[in-house]
Structure 1
Amino acid sequence: MIGFYSTRVLEAVRAGNDDEARQNHEKAAPFAAEMDRLEGKPWRELTAALPPLLLARLEANLAELDADAVEATKALATALAVPPASLEPAWSKAVALPKAGDPLADTAVAMVLARTPRGSRAGLAAMRNEVTRAEYAAFASATGRPAARCRNRLTPISIKKRTWDDPGFNQSGNHPVLCVSYDDAQAYAQWLSRRSGKDYRLPTLAEWRPLADYRGSGNACQDGRIGCAGVEGTVNAAQGPLSPIGLAGTRGNAREWVSDCTRGCQRRLAAGVGWRDGPNRANPTQSNDFDAGTGFDDIGFRLVRSVPAGELGKR
């Protein structure tokens, strides 16, 4: 009976069926204990075969930087009474896996890891702050890109002329750039990609929404730069409460362009909340569509890029 269950345990481990491996191990252990056969041949063979099987699996999990798989393998090892010492050094290496919120080195801008790689799926890094006026000014100077027409998105007609370097209120170079169209944001991403050798892009709405999570008091006026006190304009792009992974500006200051589109992609979505949004419009996951070639005085952007597991393995 012990031999039967031991064989089933090994087959389940090799097949990746963790629940079945646990169940058969639980059935085998009482028989072995009751019959005083813990030192018997079938049990010895099982306890000798499990460590190399689980060590190979744990090393494969680490090679893919798959934190979820690592935790599953360690949990299975514990359930099967495999000593951690028999899985070294992989067991100890698991604590050094990259995690969301880790800063990335050797990038053109300050980026943090927003989503870790999982198997063949790449991770995702996001700019810590929205693109600033100073950063956009460097792009505009280098490329000669003309300023897009800009308007107040809450009024049908804008008489006051606005541009990214004069949005109608005072800004410094470390404020988020506004009055840039979706097309401008795309052009900036392409320029930065050429300069850095990394593939920067606007996030999709599905990628952006998890970034909008934040730590705060629940008071929309206190936690974000939104239109609560009737004061126009933005603040430093790094100011305000940070999200759990360390992103600034996800709760106010500027709405942000994302890559999703409507109406044959003549209109693009901008997500989140900006300084023109009052408390009744402070839902950080909201999105609306706008003309792709027009800038608005409360819409900016931040970029993301994919992060393959191999890049994190070289940190």
Structure 2
Amino acid sequence: MVLPAQGADRAADLPVAGGGKVFRDCDDGCPAMVVVPSSPEGFKIGSPESEPNHTDDETQVEVAIAAFAIGATEVTVAEYKACVAAGGCKPPEWLEPGGQHNIETGSSRYYRNLGDNLTGPEQPVVGVSYDDATAYAAWLTSKTGHTYRLPSEAQWEFAARAGTHTAYWWGDTLPSDGVVRAACVGCGSEWDGKAPAPARAFQPNPWGLFNVHGNVWEWTADFYCDDTASGPKDGSPRLTDDCPAQGDEPPARGVRSMRGGSVFYPAKVMRSAMRARNVPDFRNFSVGFRVARDLAP
């Protein structure tokens, strides 16, 4: 469903997540968005210590998240290219003019080997940095009059879980019913360990989000910090690079968080609570993003 154009705020009138409906703020580059309800009392991000493959930076913390909207899919090649064409975004690394990884003129096969799984319009865009992702969100904001951004870690995890408390939205292990629900090393898909799957591959989670587990890592808005307990409790991102030291280890500095795992990683790192990090100018064929959007009060 395409809503009327820029400046019109209709998202608040739509059913909350679970209704299976999406909206777009424009029909020429705007991603499909899903409205996510506010979190229930007592909701926690992170995982219990009893969860297999739990890591020390997944300490459970109670947060209260207001309703917001998030991309139904990872931002696609077609959507990102619309921003590039409009002058709002730099090309992804695989189209960077003069770059060694340019699939048309460069010497490297780093991206070229992915073929149509890299360049197809409905593929998740990869080879984009945190800075590129925030530039895309800023372009959407100026284009539509609504505030787009990267989701916070808390928002991303809440939306990915879709009301569940298990390692993945479908349960604690890979499905045993013969249905493939994600692309990862060992997930059983045709893309495992080879290339990203299309942005709408597999069944979405109960709130209508595709590929929250596996496929490509997704940038979030937060500075990464080992100590989740010191972060915001209202679901907003950690925007100050002030992580405390953990024991004898120096604090993380200058790195941003990523979520969701990837087609090139095993299932254990695509759990809802799993966290990764990298510097904001990092680009890679396993890293993309999805956007979030504020709703009218």
Query: Aligning the two structures, in what range does the TM-score lie when normalised by the shorter sequence?
Result: 0.5 to 0.7
Match of 1:38 in 2: none
Runs of 4+ in 1 over 6 A off after TM superposition: none
**Cα distance change, pair 131–184 in 1 and its aligned pair in 2 (3 A):** same
Match of 2:47 in 1: none
Q: Unaligned 5+ residue runs, structure 1?
A: 1-95, 151-158, 310-315
CA distance in 1, matches of 2:288, 2:222: 15
**Cα distance change, pair 140–161 in 1 and its aligned pair in 2 (3 A):** farther
CA distance in 2, matches of 1:183, 1:207: 19
Asked if 1 retains the 8 angstrom alpha-carbon contact of 2:169 and 2:272, the reply is no
Aligned pair count reads 202
Map 1:125-144 to 2 at 5 A: 125-143=69-87
Larger Rg: 1
> Would you say 1:273 and 2:261 are equivalent positions?
yes
Higher relative contact order (CA 8 A, sep 6+): 2
TM-score (norm. length: structure 1) = 0.56
Map 1:210-289 to 2 at 5 A: 210-213=158-161, 215-216=169-170, 218-219=173-174, 222-228=180-186, 231-262=193-224, 264=241, 266-289=254-277
Q: Deviations over 1:137-182 (max 9, x none)?
A: 11112217444658xxxxxxxx94646xx57443211010111000
**Cα distance change, pair 290–117 in 1 and its aligned pair in 2 (3 A):** closer
CA distance in 2, matches of 1:97, 1:135: 23
CA distance in 1, matches of 2:88, 2:149: 20
Match of 2:154 in 1: 206
Asked if 1 retains the 8 angstrom alpha-carbon contact of 2:17 and 2:208, the reply is no
Asked if 2 retains the 8 angstrom alpha-carbon contact of 1:267 and 1:291, the reply is yes
How far apart are residue 117 of structure 1 and its match?
9.4
RMSD, aligned α-carbons: 3.0
Match of 1:296 in 2: 284
TM-score (norm. length: structure 2) = 0.60
Asked if 2 retains the 8 angstrom alpha-carbon contact of 1:148 and 1:293, the reply is no
User: Between the two proteins, what is the percent identity of the paired residues?
Assistant: 27
CA distance in 2, matches of 1:117, 1:275: 29
CA distance in 2, matches of 1:239, 1:219: 16
Q: Which has the higher helix share?
A: 1
Q: Unaligned 5+ residue runs, structure 2?
A: 1-12, 41-64, 95-106, 162-167, 226-240, 242-252
Match of 1:14 in 2: none
CA distance in 2, matches of 1:196, 1:233: 32
